[in-house]
A and B are shown apart, each in its own frame.
Chain A
Amino acid sequence: MMVHRMLAKDSLLRNLKSGLTAVLLTSLLLAGCSSGSKENTPEAKPNDGGKDASTAIGSSYPLNTTETITSWEILNMNAVTFYSNLADTPFGKALVDQTGVQVEYIHPNDQQTTEQFNLMIASDELPDVIEYDWTGRSAGSYPGGPEKAIQDGVILELNDLIDQYAPNLKKKLEADPTLDRMVKTDSGKYYVFPMIRNPSGLVFRGPMIRQDWLEELGLPVPTTIEEWEKTLIAFRDEKGATAPLSVTYTGGNFEIRDAFIGAYKTSNSFYVDDEGKVKYGPMDPQYKDFLALFRKWFAEGLFDKDFALTDTKALDNKILTGQTGATVHLLSGGMGKWMDAMKEQDPKFKLVGAPYPTLNPGEIPFIGQRDFKYNPGPSKAITTAAKNPELIVRWLDYAYSEEGSLLYNFGIEGESYVMENGAPMYTDLIKNNEKYSLQQMVSQYSKPNGPYEADERRNWNTFPEQDEAVKVWSKTDAEKHILPGFLTPTAEESKELGKILTEVSNYKEEMFVKFIVGKEPMESYDKYVEQLKKLGIERAVEIYQSALDRYNSR
């Protein structure tokens, strides 16, 4: 029997369809078939038959309908602790009560969202609404972007629908031209109901450092590269930190991507310079200085010797056991989490946000982390499979109304929030729960992410240091220099770009690590830049430049 097992395992057939081909083909097999056959019958479903219903639904909430909408969206990680479906949460139930619309939610598996999204598109079995990144700006979002998605017949162009049935969203878009520019395509098409971040939610990552160590050593919070070096040396020598500065490195993404680099007036990727020209940071001459700094820190044991192997779990361990005294990480997923974890074990443990370092004192960091008002991931598009787009639009528009906004941000009045002097405040049930954190409680009663406008008055930070950190991290020129995330290269350009970037980003990341660990001499920097050019980086910059020009003239 053993023999049989071994033989079967290694059989020729298995080899034939080895590796990825196997995985892909089996999974896409059925998908491919069904979509192939459906291609012949282009759908002309929407827009007809909706007219009679439109008057019946009415324009005031709750809407008068018996239809059920299907919605594909991620269920918040914290909410999963309590419920497996959004419809069962207090929020989901309240939303049905208030809008009068029954919704059937389909939640993809958290780990395989992209795969499941791709399969869903390929199989052509679309729900009415899909909450996903359609911008095409990053791997994982819809390839080719929103124009392509509309052209492919996956989602609907929303211009007329918003015009007629979404007064609340329309008002917001008219009042905010910057936002308006972000959520439409080059040719002026709207394609989603956007998640709008509140101004304090734009900055959520940055350098942080052990305040209690600094106090003990009598050091100030470092602001320049020089001060950082001094501090890290002190951490190494006096506090016995084996990896004084450590960051995570997952999926080829380095978490110092925006910190420290800004001191040298460049970035770890594409950016916009002061003249409005697109540039690629990793081939700038200044980038070499940044590499040299980390090469030195690595060699002197100031920067984690195992940095390329550090994932979130390893970093947790290093921070909590005092091997690391400084890092670049998230506001709640890092700072809040670690302080929470150490509350009882070591009450002295305290992290504070440090400003993005600069070369000379008093300078403003060239770049930092700063996201955009429009968050494309948790934004909803309406698919071509929707039978009653008007109903869906009305349902989605509720989130931007006054009552809707309160529900989405704060939950249920009297239960999760109360009005105090005209301002909603979370109740003790949410804020001071014995068993669960604020984030966990909030996820049951409201929607942490999704298409609506985040309220400025809500605050999910648990520690005052977090509020402080946001202020500190916000003082950068990032807004000026970050390449807008909503550029839309044309289909041709996207194809070209995809090819170039695959090779460029692989090569850049590999060389980045090699320069830092000292395996590649600094002298080969010029050769490295040459190679980047050979891989077509200049063409990629050109493409982004023309996309940026189009964006600016939207």
Chain B
Amino acid sequence: MAKLPPPTRTSIPSNTAGLNPRKWGLLKDISKNRFLYIMLIPVLLYFAVFHYFPMYGASIAFKEFSPRLGIMGSPWAGWEHFESFFNGIYFWRVVKNTLLISFYELIFGFPAPIILALLLNEIRKTAFKRTVQTITYMPHFISLVVVCGIIKEFTMSDGLINDIMAFFGWERVSLLLESEYFRTLFVTSGIWQNIGWGTIIYLAALAGIDQEQYEAAKIDGANRWRQMLNVTLPGIMPTIVILFILEIGRLMNVGSEKIILLYNPSIYDTADVISSYVYRVGLQEFNYSFSSAVGLFNSAINFTLVIGSNWLSRRMNKTSLW
């Protein structure tokens, strides 16, 4: 929004012509580029109506919400819901699970598309490259419900994975009933589904690297490995950092839909995360206020994390979201 086209000489309205240009800069700008500003209105309205206005509803976290009385009419409850969450028996478990799953996704899931992109970048045969790309990004288009159905089928005691394990003489176990496998299943299936899609953005960044740099590196005697380390990686670094900050912002937001579709009471101890807990308590047991308190707590942490990592990144390598 900061940079608007330079003022043109025509159409300076007479009434502002004599005023101090610095003081009236914005007004002048508006009157000059009124069509651009008019085009901005729907966007601002969209954010106001759909993103800012609903936030007032977050107040039900501090209320004894009853649908009939409405958000405004419900009586205040203070910090009661937050207290009962913090003192509940599941507080540490869901926070721990949320952090752990996110952390695993971050260390295994985040680099995966980068590595694939770098590998693809080294391939010279376009046909092969295209094929690999298509195959790896296909799973992204499968609906989550179907993906979870597939995972369930594969991990059942008579499913594919068990068939393979039984072939090597292992005992058949229903993998989704065993808490120790859940995180692995969750993270690997996530990588499988999203690796190709995530690669696209890095390939785009790769395409933007100046070819002359490679020429120069070659003349300096850099082999392909060196070229990758010293030209390619620095070239896509800003993209990586930005995506990393965004990823940090989602740290507490493990995909609850997927967890809800996959978990069952026997693996709650490793699978239950804040958002799935919110869903269970809020929607299944109609405890709106309590669950929005938990959701708000989650958002607050996310917010802090984004601000924090953005600040850190700006200080450390001058790349940041804002």
Q: Give residues in A with beta carbon < 8 Å to B.
A: 2-3, 6-7, 10, 12-13, 15-22, 24-26, 28-29, 31-36, 39, 114, 118-119, 121-122, 124, 139-140, 143, 152, 154, 242, 249, 251-252, 305-306, 308-309, 498-499, 502-503, 506-507, 509-510, 512-514, 517, 519, 531, 535
Contacts and interface: CB of A to CB of B under 8 A. Distances in A.
Contacts of B176: 306, 308-309
The binding surface of chain B is classed by DSSP as helix
Interface stretch (B46-54, B116-124, B126-134): B46-54
A20 B285 CA distance: 13
Contact of A309 (B73, B174, B283, B298): B174
B68 interface: yes
A507 to B, nearest CB: 7
B296 to A, nearest CB: 6
A20 B200 contact: no
B264 A513 contact: yes
Contacts, number: 189
A512 to B, nearest CB: 7
Given A16-B51, A36-B71, 19 more contacts: A2-B204, A3-B204, A6-B243, A10-B247, A10-B249, A12-B321, A15-B306, A17-B54, A17-B58, A25-B60, A28-B60, A32-B57, A122-B67, A140-B286, A305-B172, A498-B285, A502-B287, A510-B265, A531-B89
Contacts of B253: 15, 18-19
Contacts of A309: 152, 156, 174, 176-177, 264
Contact of A118 (B67, B179, B292, B298): B67
A32 to B, nearest CB: 3
20 contacts: A15-B249, A18-B275, A19-B275, A19-B295, A20-B282, A29-B53, A33-B70, A36-B72, A36-B73, A39-B73, A143-B66, A242-B158, A306-B156, A308-B176, A308-B264, A498-B285, A506-B280, A513-B264, A514-B266, A535-B89
B58 to A, nearest CB: 6
Given A19-B275, A24-B57, A139-B284, A32 B70 contact: yes
B240 to A, nearest CB: 13
Nearest to A515: B266
B266 A517 contact: yes
Contacts of B177: 305-306, 308-309, 513, 517
Contact of B54 (A25, A114, A308, A517): A25
Interface string B262-301: 0011101100001100111111111110011001101100
Contacts of B283: 20
Contacts of A36: 70-73
Task: Give chain B's interface residue range (CB within 8 Å of chain A).
Answer: 35 or more
B201 interface: yes
A390 B174 CA distance: 60
A498 B66 CA distance: 14
Nearest to A242: B158
B303 A15 contact: yes
Contacts of A15: 249-250, 253, 299, 302-303, 306
Nearest to A23: B283
B266 A513 contact: yes
B306 A17 contact: no
A35 B73 contact: yes
A306 B173 CA distance: 9
Given A17-B51, A306-B157, A309-B156, A29 B66 contact: no
B246 interface: yes
Given A143-B66, A242-B158, A309-B152, A21 B57 contact: yes
Given A309-B152, A507-B89, A121 B67 contact: yes
A152 B88 contact: no
Contacts of B256: 19
Given A12-B249, A19-B253, A509 B68 contact: no
B38 interface: no
